[in-house]
Amino acid sequence: MAVSSRRRVLPGFRLSLGFSWFYLGLLVLLPLSGLFLRTFTLTWAQFWETVTSARALAAYQLTFGASLAAALANVVFGLLVAWVLVRYRFPGRDLVEALVDLPFALPTAVAGLTLTTLFSANGWYGRHLEALGLKVAYTSLGVAVALTFIGLPFVVRTVQPVLEDIDVDVEEAAATLGATPWQTFARVLFPGILPALLSGFTLAFARALGEYGSVVFISGNMPLRTEIVPLLIITKLEQYDYAGATAIAVVMLTASFLLLLAVNLLHRWSHRRLEARSGH
Q: How near is the Cβ of 184 to another protein at its closest, in Å?
A: 8
Within 222-241, the residues that bind another protein by CB under 8 A are: 222-224, 229-231, 233-241
Give the span between the Cα atoms of 140 and 69, in whole angstroms.
11
44 or 246: whose CB is closer to another protein? 246
**Helix/strand/coil for 224:** coil
Among residues 172, 186, 190, 191, which is the contact residue for another protein, using CB under 8 A?
172
CA distance 156 to 158: 6
Among 72, 171, 179, 274, binds another protein (CB under 8 A): 171
Alpha helices in the chain (DSSP H): 13-24, 30-39, 44-51, 54-87, 93-99, 102-105, 108-119, 126-131, 140-165, 168-176, 181-183, 190-210, 215-219, 229-238, 242-277
Query: Is residue 34 within the footprint of another protein (CB under 8 A)?
Result: yes
- Under the criterion CB under 8 A, does residue 276 sit at the interface with another protein? no
Site for another protein in 93-122 (CB under 8 A): 94, 96-111, 113-118, 120-122
> Per rule CB under 8 A, is residue 260 in the interface with another protein?
yes
Exposure of 73 in the CB half-sphere (CA atoms within 13 A): 17
Site for another protein in 192-221 (CB under 8 A): 195-196, 199, 202-203, 206-207, 209-213, 216-217, 220-221
Angle made by CA atoms 44, 226, 69, in degrees to the nearest 5: 95
Does 40 help bind another protein (rule: CB under 8 A)? no
Q: Does 65 bind another protein (CB under 8 A)?
A: no
CB 159 within 8 A of CB 172: no
- Nearest approach, Cβ of residue 231 and another protein (Å): 7
- Interaction of residue 142 with another protein, rule CB under 8 A: no
| Nearest distance from C-beta of residue 249 to another protein, angstroms | 5
Q: Which is nearer to another protein, 44 or 106 (CB)?
A: 106
**Does the footprint of another protein cover residue 39 (CB under 8 A)?**
no
Q: Is 258 helix (H, G, I), strand (E, B) or coil?
A: helix
90 binds another protein (CB under 8 A): yes
Check residue 134 for interaction with another protein (CB under 8 A): no
Site for another protein in 240-259 (CB under 8 A): 240-242, 244-246, 249, 252-253, 256-257
Question: Would you say 126 and 120 are in contact if contact means Cβ atoms under 8 Å apart?
Answer: yes
Closest CA to 38 of 253, 255, 256, 261: 253
